[in-house]
Amino acid sequence: MDARAWLVYEQAMQDDSARTLRHTLETQFPEVSARVSALDVRSGIATIILSPPAHADGGDEAGLRSRVETALLALDGIERVRVIVETERQPAAATKRSAPARAKAPAGLIIAVGSGKGGVGKSTVAANLAGACVRLGLRTGLVDADVFGPSAPRLFGLTDAPGLRKTDAGIEPLRAHGVKLVSTGFLVGSREPVVWRGPMVTGAIRQFLTEVDWDGGDGPLDVLIIDMPPGTGDAQLAIAQGVPISGAVIVSTPQTVALDDARKAMALFERTEIPVLGMIENMSFFLCPHCGEGSEIFGRGGVRAEAEMMGVPFLGEIPLHPSLRVASDEGRLVALEDGPLAGAFERAASAMLETARTANRPAPEIVFEG
């Protein structure tokens, strides 16, 4: 099966699982089914977003959630169930949300990291670019905006984290490897649920960009990286309207199928007037963990050629290396360790920051004399 056929097959399987899940809820938990505002199944993980319970006291919400989880876990192909319950917004917060959203920038530079298709390593690269920024001495934050497939808890070793809290100053980010971060992955199991309302994808992103206390007394962030969700442009629109975004970085592998999709991702950013800062080639070449030799198995250089063709900067190449996958699974950032991968991420991050700073520098004022 070629890569495209595989993706079609995978999508069909996901749709099938989502249908089975929906049917189970409708037949076994009609009261829950009526409250589903979003449902998604990906890689065996089911995410269900529920609107708030009808009664103010919530009834036995915890018991209900646990019965739903048990029933869904019994279904074929479901390995984990995440139930997120929205809570009603306070009137004051609602007023704040309708105020001009572009008022306050959460960081000096805000950089979205996107890709055309899943599995090219976008989240791994985004997390390690954040790590490289910390290594460069910058106050760094990361928004994991992939609502249905959050990766930050795993990549930052925070799968058992207690969950996000909301204080008077705003949502308190978690912290790992020197990076402040928020993710919907931290909402599940949260003891004090974050107030959550509105369409899930755009609502979550807007809230993460405008209601998080990134400063927390440490000073404002220098750079905020947004790990973008895959999609049709809703997320791009949400960030474009929410904050003064510096630009987007596109991660791609060198294969033709990935490059085709990267081009589409670029078009989505451009449509929402987010400048594309450049492209990064991930899994550029295989770096042998034994001899240190590189083998160009996927056709290294494809992304550089694509970037040149599209007229955007090429920001760097990250080799395919088993230690990167191992570190990611163990919640470590290779960008903060020693070795060739750290060097590759540092070079890519420096190029990204330089391009972002140039793109955000105000044009020189020309004064005509006489």
Ligand X SMILES: Nc1ncnc2c1ncn2[C@@H]1O[C@H](COP(=O)(O)OP(=O)(O)OP(=O)(O)O)[C@@H](O)[C@H]1O
Cite the annotated binding site for ATP by residue number: 116-123
Q: In angstroms, give the least distance from the CB of 40 to ligand X.
A: 12
Cβ proximity to ligand X: between 283 and 356 the closer is: 283
> What's the Cα-to-Cα distance from 73 to each of 44, 79, 82, 138, 295, rounded to whole Å?
10, 6, 10, 42, 42
Q: In angstroms, give the least distance from the CB of 285 to ligand X.
A: 10
Containing 170, the helix (H) or strand (E) segment is strand 170-172
Cβ proximity to ligand X: between 120 and 134 the closer is: 120
Q: Return the DSSP state at 87.
A: B
Residues near ligand X, by CB under 6 A: 115, 118-124, 149, 151, 230, 282-283, 318, 320-321, 324-325, 328
Sign of the C-alpha dihedral, residues 69, 72, 74, 79? negative
* Residue 167 bridge partners (DSSP): 170
Cβ proximity to ligand X: between 32 and 120 the closer is: 120
Q: In angstroms, give the least distance from the CB of 347 to ligand X.
A: 14
Residue tagged 């063709």 (tokens): 309
Residue ranges for the known binding site are 116-123
To 10 degrees, the CA torsion angle through 193, 223, 198, 42?
-80
The Cβ of residue 154 has, within 10 Å, a number of other Cβ atoms equal to 17
Q: In angstroms, give the least distance from the CB of 253 to ligand X.
A: 9
Cβ proximity to ligand X: between 40 and 86 the closer is: 40
The Cβ of residue 80 has, within 10 Å, a number of other Cβ atoms equal to 13
How open is the CA angle 45-48-50, to the nearest 5 degrees? Answer: 165
Cβ proximity to ligand X: between 173 and 230 the closer is: 230
Q: In angstroms, give the least distance from the CB of 150 to ligand X.
A: 9
